[in-house]
A and B are shown apart, each in its own frame.
Chain A
Amino acid sequence: MQESALEVRDLTMDFHGSRALDGLNIAFRQGDVHAVVGENMAGKTTLLKVLNGLHPAGSYLGRILIDGTEQRFRSIKDSERAGITAVFQDFALVKEMSVCENLFLGNEVAARGIIRWQETFSRARAVLSEVGLNVDPVVEIFRLGVIQQLLIGIAKALVKSARFLILDEPSTLLSTTETENLYAVIRRLKAKGLTCIYASKRLNDVFEIADRVTVLRDGCHVMTRQLTEVSQTEIREWMDGRNENPRGSALLAPVWPAPVAEPARTVELPKPAGQSSEVGALVDYFRKKQGYLKRLAIKSGHVYKVFEANAIDCFKVENGLVFLHVDGGKHLIDLPLSRLHEKLDPSSFYRAHRNAIVNLSRIRQIIPWGRGMYKLEFSDGERVTLSRQRVALFRKMMGLD
């Protein structure tokens, strides 16, 4: 049994009149990737801020222990000295300054107050290669993409010789490929003995890289387990605090039809000469427009699903909405056709867009969520939030009403 390297005991904190953390007892082991999961307002970020020193000692009750010794962090500097560094959601970077200046911000490579630039550059290059980032240290941050900025945020933590790296929902803004990149970096850091504490709402992340998982709900510690001992469903249930069937509304019947293979239909798109199949026409149309189309990537919630173009076996355009039948499941792309080509451009992956893809045959349950909104949960644990109107529209388009 490993000695716990970092521990919180009886951690209780009130914040703006409500109890943000309620008697938490969690042990983090050296070298683990430890995921902290919970819905919004579960207390994940508050816990991380306590560990990081952002909420200083005195603003909470309870203790933080490193290697069994109690720690009192009065500021971020104290927690850094103890080996804890955090990367929060805005990455804490000054966009107009260069990569190397940001890496050493607050820890400048200097003698008697005068910065030593040569040494700054060489140390910057060294730490950038540790996170696998090939950027020029003098480039300004605003020129870099999101994943690069996040990796620089992580590199900044390494500069401070961290023993514990805290990441607060890093994959929120990332695409699938970028998230894979992040996982690779975390695995590399873990191999060096770093303990990574990773807060997330996304269970896919957790099951990819974590060793242990802690579930928080409404500020309380629900459970901590080795990942091998739990399933996604169990974790989801612990997060929601519910095991019963969801409540539906008159609008949404709890019974969903089995997937039906739709026959191919005609499409009003210009056909290049010699093309026979409609799918081929669509693919060719976009290939001509964009010069390429090998794959179709559709954003669904926070995940990008990538389909090979030749796996699209039919599609239908109706009322300006495009339906694709791919891979045995029906997918609705809720977009006007004129904008479809924009969304198919890989460079547009980095732009957030509102439209959700709903594979209606894979819905497992529908959970009412706030006013007029529903969370649709799919069989793989993924969730999409949609308004009542939109769900009604989809049902209509799919011929279910």
Chain B
Amino acid sequence: MSDGKSQSTGSVLGSVRRNIRQYTMFIALVGIWLIFTLLTRGIFISTRNLSNLLLQTAAVAILATGIVLILVSGQIDLSLGYFLSFIGGLVGALQLRAHWTTVPSVAAGLAAALVIGCWHGYWIAYRKIPAFIVTLASQLVLRGAMLAVTRGQTQTPLKSGFLAIGQGFLPQLGFFKNDSTVLVGVIVLVIYITAELAGRASLKRNGYEVIPAGRQLLKMVLVCAGILAFFGVLVSYLGIPYAIFIVMVLGLVFTYISRNTVFGRQVYAIGGNAEAARLSGIDIRKRIFVLYLLMALLVAIAAFVLTARLGGASTLTGGGMELDAIAAGFIGGTSVTGGIGTIPGGLVGALVMASIDNGMSLMNLIPAIQLMVKGFILLAAVWIDIVTKTSRQRVKGA
């Protein structure tokens, strides 16, 4: 009946193609992990390394969360790297030379980021200057600003309260080792299972067909196994780092925003068909402005996490990170033409990029090879996007 409608002629192929896009990321990730495990004789898969890997992913993952929405809306942001580096440098300078404590310096960093976000939003949304140009220009300006604020020197040491953001772990509750991590893991499991079952019940209530119980169970078992493995790795080391906790929270919040809020859905509409969005009365300028504000906020948070993890704000931090974040977005399934993309996909994309970095470092490969491999993977990801999109274009051509 209603499910039959979705299974119209083109859609069987369409749904396979759509699922290929989603499953490709996971397959790629698992494949890469397997390859590196073999090549590093198991070091890659050790809990210590995986825990480090997750930490290394954190900053790019936070950036990817924002850049996915920006790419979905059909825009871009090339300033991320030096933007991050500037905020980190600012916070470092305030702590080191002006002797500000953690909270005021973090607040200043957030404020500065929001001002820069307004700047981007104003020129891109209201003055209609292409985002490419505005953020490219910004990149240069912020790089200069960063050098000015740090006077070309690494800002270290930083306040311990601040360092905890990047290096600390979720505090123990006192019952057993890493009990807080276990608690968070249990909460995530419960949330997932409830959401899946509630979704299934809602589908049934609305008269849709649901996937057979066996397959549903298998799917849930696999995902729960993944969640358990994830938390298991963390529990067996030192627990959840604050950085990862921040990534999880931001990931959840932004996924919710992208799926269930008016703002989120309108962003997707703007990317999918800006003309349709305009004719529907959506204020595109306002939405894009807010997008760049949100991106700025995320850049600031990523700056705090990265600077704290590294223990200092170096002039070398951050440069080029925008490319990592954008690549993460595309690898995670964001479409080059806008309108399609998910935040979980971006996070997986970030993990893929970081895994490659991590694995190759473990193998002592020179950075040149690392860069080349990353470049090819990005190309492959976008190629897959184009190929899966073409079939959809054919289906929709009328």
Inter-subunit contact B265/A108 (CB<8 Å): yes
Q: Does B269 contact A (CB under 8 A)?
A: yes
Inter-subunit contact A136/B6 (CB<8 Å): yes
Q: Does B395 contact A (CB under 8 A)?
A: yes
Binary contact readout A19-44 vs B (1 if CB under 8 angstroms, 0 otherwise): 00000000000000000000000000
Question: What are some 19 contacts across the A-B interface (CB < 8 A)?
Answer: A76-B280, A80-B281, A86-B279, A92-B276, A92-B280, A94-B268, A94-B269, A94-B276, A97-B272, A105-B280, A106-B266, A114-B261, A115-B261, A117-B260, A139-B5, A139-B6, A141-B396, A142-B392, A156-B280
User: For residue A108, which residue of chain B has the nearest CB?
Assistant: B262
Q: Does A101 contact B (CB under 8 A)?
A: yes
Binary contact readout B1-30 vs A (1 if CB under 8 angstroms, 0 otherwise): 011011010110010000000000000000
**How far, in angstroms, from A97 to B265 measured CA to CA in the complex?**
9
Binary contact readout A58-96 vs B (1 if CB under 8 angstroms, 0 otherwise): 000000000000000001110010000010101111111
The distance from the CB of A351 to the nearest CB of chain B, in whole angstroms, is 9
User: For residue B3, which residue of chain A has the nearest CB?
Assistant: A136
**How far, in angstroms, from A143 to B392 measured CA to CA in the complex?**
9
Q: Sorted from nearest, which 9 A-B pairs have the closest CB atoms?
A: A142-B396, A106-B280, A94-B272, A92-B279, A106-B281, A105-B280, A92-B276, A146-B398, A136-B5
Inter-subunit contact A113/B263 (CB<8 Å): yes
**How far, in angstroms, from A95 to B340 measured CA to CA in the complex?**
11
Residues of A near any B CB (own CB < 8 A): 54, 75-77, 80, 86, 88, 90-97, 101-102, 105-108, 110, 113-115, 117-118, 121, 135-136, 138-139, 141-143, 145-146, 149, 156, 173, 350
Contacts of B395 in A (CB 8 A): 142-143
The distance from the CB of A86 to the nearest CB of chain B, in whole angstroms, is 8
Q: Does B364 contact A (CB under 8 A)?
A: no
Binary contact readout B275-319 vs A (1 if CB under 8 angstroms, 0 otherwise): 111111110000000000000000000000000000000000000
Inter-subunit contact B281/A76 (CB<8 Å): yes
Inter-subunit contact B398/A350 (CB<8 Å): yes
The distance from the CB of B204 to the nearest CB of chain A, in whole angstroms, is 13
Contacts of B10 in A (CB 8 A): 143
The distance from the CB of B375 to the nearest CB of chain A, in whole angstroms, is 28
The distance from the CB of B300 to the nearest CB of chain A, in whole angstroms, is 23
User: For residue A115, which residue of chain B has the nearest CB?
Assistant: B260
Contacts of B11 in A (CB 8 A): 143
Contacts of B261 in A (CB 8 A): 110, 113-115
Contacts of B282 in A (CB 8 A): 105-106
Inter-subunit contact A173/B265 (CB<8 Å): no
Contacts of A117 in B (CB 8 A): 260
User: For residue A135, which residue of chain B has the nearest CB?
Assistant: B5
Inter-subunit contact B8/A143 (CB<8 Å): yes
Beyond A94-B272, A94-B339, A136-B2, 13 additional contacts (C-beta under 8 Å) are: A88-B279, A90-B276, A94-B276, A105-B265, A105-B277, A106-B277, A107-B281, A115-B260, A115-B261, A139-B6, A142-B392, A142-B396, A143-B6
Inter-subunit contact A143/B14 (CB<8 Å): yes
Contacts of B2 in A (CB 8 A): 136
The distance from the CB of B352 to the nearest CB of chain A, in whole angstroms, is 24
Q: Does B194 contact A (CB under 8 A)?
A: no
**How far, in angstroms, from A114 to B11 measured CA to CA in the complex?**
30
Contacts of A149 in B (CB 8 A): 398
Contacts of B268 in A (CB 8 A): 94, 96-97
Inter-subunit contact B263/A94 (CB<8 Å): no
Contacts of B202 in A (CB 8 A): 118
The distance from the CB of A160 to the nearest CB of chain B, in whole angstroms, is 9
**How far, in angstroms, from A329 to B202 measured CA to CA in the complex?**
59
**How far, in angstroms, from A75 to B278 measured CA to CA in the complex?**
10
Q: Count the B residues whose beta carbon is within 8 Å of the partner chain — how many?
A: 35
Contacts of B5 in A (CB 8 A): 135-136, 139
Total A-B Cβ pairs within 8 A: 100
Inter-subunit contact A138/B6 (CB<8 Å): yes
**How far, in angstroms, from A5 to B339 measured CA to CA in the complex?**
39
The distance from the CB of B323 to the nearest CB of chain A, in whole angstroms, is 26
**How far, in angstroms, from A151 to B345 measured CA to CA in the complex?**
34
Q: Does B216 contact A (CB under 8 A)?
A: no
Inter-subunit contact B279/A75 (CB<8 Å): no
Inter-subunit contact A76/B279 (CB<8 Å): yes
Q: Does B273 contact A (CB under 8 A)?
A: yes
Inter-subunit contact A94/B281 (CB<8 Å): no
**How far, in angstroms, from A54 to B279 measured CA to CA in the complex?**
8
Given contacts A106-B282, A113-B262, contact A94 B277 (CB under 8 A): yes
User: For residue B263, which residue of chain A has the nearest CB?
Assistant: A113
Inter-subunit contact A75/B281 (CB<8 Å): yes
Inter-subunit contact B14/A115 (CB<8 Å): no
**How far, in angstroms, from A102 to B339 measured CA to CA in the complex?**
13
Inter-subunit contact A121/B206 (CB<8 Å): yes
User: For residue B279, which residue of chain A has the nearest CB?
Assistant: A92
User: For residue A75, which residue of chain B has the nearest CB?
Assistant: B281
**How far, in angstroms, from A221 to B272 measured CA to CA in the complex?**
38
User: For residue A148, which residue of chain B has the nearest CB?
Assistant: B398
**How far, in angstroms, from A135 to B278 measured CA to CA in the complex?**
25
**How far, in angstroms, from A75 to B279 measured CA to CA in the complex?**
10
Contacts of B273 in A (CB 8 A): 92-95
Inter-subunit contact A96/B262 (CB<8 Å): no
**How far, in angstroms, from A26 to B17 measured CA to CA in the complex?**
52
**How far, in angstroms, from A106 to B6 measured CA to CA in the complex?**
25
Contacts of B8 in A (CB 8 A): 143
Contacts of B263 in A (CB 8 A): 113
**How far, in angstroms, from A146 to B398 measured CA to CA in the complex?**
6
The distance from the CB of B40 to the nearest CB of chain A, in whole angstroms, is 40
**How far, in angstroms, from A88 to B278 measured CA to CA in the complex?**
13
User: For residue A110, which residue of chain B has the nearest CB?
Assistant: B262
Contacts of B275 in A (CB 8 A): 90, 92
**How far, in angstroms, from A173 to B339 measured CA to CA in the complex?**
25
User: For residue B276, which residue of chain A has the nearest CB?
Assistant: A92
**How far, in angstroms, from A76 to B281 measured CA to CA in the complex?**
6
**How far, in angstroms, from A139 to B6 measured CA to CA in the complex?**
6
The distance from the CB of A296 to the nearest CB of chain B, in whole angstroms, is 23
Binary contact readout B248-276 vs A (1 if CB under 8 angstroms, 0 otherwise): 00000000000011110110110011011
Contacts of B14 in A (CB 8 A): 143
The distance from the CB of B76 to the nearest CB of chain A, in whole angstroms, is 19
**How far, in angstroms, from A139 to B261 measured CA to CA in the complex?**
19
User: For residue B5, which residue of chain A has the nearest CB?
Assistant: A136
**How far, in angstroms, from A142 to B208 measured CA to CA in the complex?**
20
**How far, in angstroms, from A77 to B283 measured CA to CA in the complex?**
10
Contacts of A107 in B (CB 8 A): 280-281
**How far, in angstroms, from A96 to B392 measured CA to CA in the complex?**
9
The distance from the CB of A191 to the nearest CB of chain B, in whole angstroms, is 27
Contacts of A114 in B (CB 8 A): 260-262
The distance from the CB of B174 to the nearest CB of chain A, in whole angstroms, is 37
User: For residue A350, which residue of chain B has the nearest CB?
Assistant: B398
**How far, in angstroms, from A92 to B273 measured CA to CA in the complex?**
8
User: For residue A52, which residue of chain B has the nearest CB?
Assistant: B279
Max count, chain A CB within 10 A of own CB: residue among B8, B269, B279, B339: B279
**How far, in angstroms, from A100 to B221 measured CA to CA in the complex?**
32
